A = this chain, B = another copy of it.
Amino acid sequence: MESQSLFSGFCSNSITPLYRNPQNPLSSSPPSLSYPCFNQSKYQVSFENQYFLSSQRLRSVRRLLCKNSVEKVSNLVSEKEGSKSWVKRKRLAVFVSGGGSNFRSINQACIEGSVNGDVVVLVTNKHACGGSQYARDKGIPVILFPKTKDEPDGLSPDDLVKVLREFEVDFILLAGYLKLIPAELIRAYSRSIFNIHPSLLPSFGGKGYYGMKVHKAVIASGARYSGATIHFVDEHYDTGRILAQKIVPVLANDTAEELAARVLREEHKLYVEVTAALCEDRIVWREDGVPLIQSKENPEEYY
C-alpha cells in the first residue's frame, strides 16, 4: 500500500527517522502481534502489552504498518458498567514548541501507570527544542509540523493527519505548542484535541497571549486570581469549551516569574489529572455541549 512510500518520503537525516528500513524485520514476534519500530533505538511495544482485553467485545482484525501486508485492527471497545471493566490503553500525541515540562510530566505519569496511555509520538515546530530532545532520549518519535522557511522538513496539514492516523493516535495534547492547529486536523480529530493555557480562560487568552506575556498581563490588570485552563481545541486560539481549571492567587508583590512558577505547578497536576480521566473514558458531555469529568471515586459526581 501507499503507507511505506509516504513514510520514506518523510524521513530525512536531520530528524529521527520515523520508520526503520522496511527490509529489516522489526522483531521476532509473530507479525500479527508486533507494532512497527519507529526509531533507531528499536523501541518496540508488542501488541498484547498495549491493550487491556475486553472480555466481551474483542475483535481480532489488526493493522500492521511497515510490512508488506496490512490488516486492520479495530479499537477494542471499553466496557463501562461494573468495576472489573477494562479500558483500552490510549495512544497520545503531544505537541510542544518549547521545553516540554507538561509533556515530561504526562509521559512520566504514563510510564508510572497513573495514566492509562502512552505518548506514542511528539509533534513540534522546533526540531531542537527541549521537548523534542527529551522525546528522542525516551525513544519517542518526533514529527516536525508545520513546514516553514526555518523548518523545511515540516509536514503539510494533510500529511500530518495521515501520520497521526497511522500512529493510531487517540488523543492529541497540546502542551505549549504555539502554532495554530489547522482545520484538517480539527476535522479529523473532532473532540480529541486538548490544550492547556496558563490563565483562567477566557481571560488573558487568544492570539499573542502565551508564556510570560500572559502572566505580565494578569499582574498589570490587577486580577487577584489566575490559574490554568484545559480546553478542547477549535479553529481559533484558546476558544474551545473548557474542560478543567485550577486556581492560584495573585499576590500584591508577585513578579511575572513568581506567578508563572505557581501556575506551572498547577498546570502539571491538572494536565495529568485530565489525561488520566481522558484515558479512562471519564469525559462526558452535558446537554449544552460543556464537557465534564466524571469522578473516579464517585461515578455519580461530575466536575
- Which residues of A are interface residues toward B (Cβ below 8 A)? 200-204, 219-225, 227, 231, 241-245, 247, 251-253, 286, 288, 290-292, 301-303
A174 to chain B, nearest CB (A): 17
**Could you list 22 A-B pairs, sorted by A, with CB under 8 Å?**
A200-B203, A202-B203, A202-B221, A203-B203, A219-B288, A220-B288, A220-B290, A221-B290, A222-B231, A222-B241, A222-B242, A222-B290, A224-B245, A224-B303, A225-B225, A225-B227, A225-B245, A251-B303, A252-B292, A252-B302, A252-B303, A253-B302
Interface class of chain A by DSSP? loop
Identical copies of this chain, number = 2
Contact partners of A286 in chain B: CB under 8 A: 252
A202 and B201 form a contact (CB under 8 A)? no
Interchain nearest-CB distance for A197 vs B (Å): 12
A203 contacts which chain B residues (CB < 8 A)?
200-203
Task: List the 10 shortest-distance A-B pairs measured between CB atoms, nearest first.
Answer: A222-B242, A252-B302, A224-B245, A222-B290, A203-B203, A222-B241, A202-B203, A252-B292, A223-B242, A225-B247
Closest chain B residue, CB of each to CB of A239:
B221
Give complex CA distance A262, B143 in Å: 48
The closest CB in chain B to the CB of A245 belongs to B224
Please give the distance in Å from A253's CB to the nearest CB on chain B: 8
Chain B residues near A288: list those with CB within 8 A.
219-220
CB neighbours (8 Å) of A247 from chain B are 225, 247
With known contacts A203-B203, A252-B286, A252-B303, A221–B245 Cβ distance under 8 A: no
Give every chain B residue within 8 A of A244 (Cβ-Cβ): 224
- Give the docked Cα–Cα distance between A253 and B301 (Å): 10
Complex Cα–Cα for A174 and B271 (A): 40
A159 to chain B, nearest CB (A): 32
Contact yes or no, A241 B221, CB < 8 A? yes
Picked from B219, B223, B251, the residue with its CB within 8 Å of the CB of A200 is: B223
B residues near A227, Cβ cutoff 8 Å: 225
The smallest beta-carbon distance between A243 and chain B, in angstroms, is 7
B202 near A222: Cβ-Cβ < 8 Å:
no
Q: How far is the CB of A215 from chain B (nearest CB, A)?
A: 13
CA gap between A40 and B60 in the complex, in Å? 89
- Chain B residue numbers with a CB within 8 Å of A290 are 219-222
Minimal Cβ-Cβ distance residue in B for A232 = B222
A214 to chain B, nearest CB (A): 12
Q: In the complex, what distance in Å separates the CA atom of A146 from the CA atom of B170?
A: 58
Q: CA separation between A56 and B49, bound complex, in Å?
A: 82
Contact: B224 with A242, CB < 8 Å?
yes
Cβ–Cβ < 8 Å partners of A201 in chain B: 203, 221, 223
Residue of B nearest to A222 (CB): B242
In this complex, which of A203, A221, A224, A253 has the most chain B Cβ atoms within 10 angstroms of its Cβ? A224
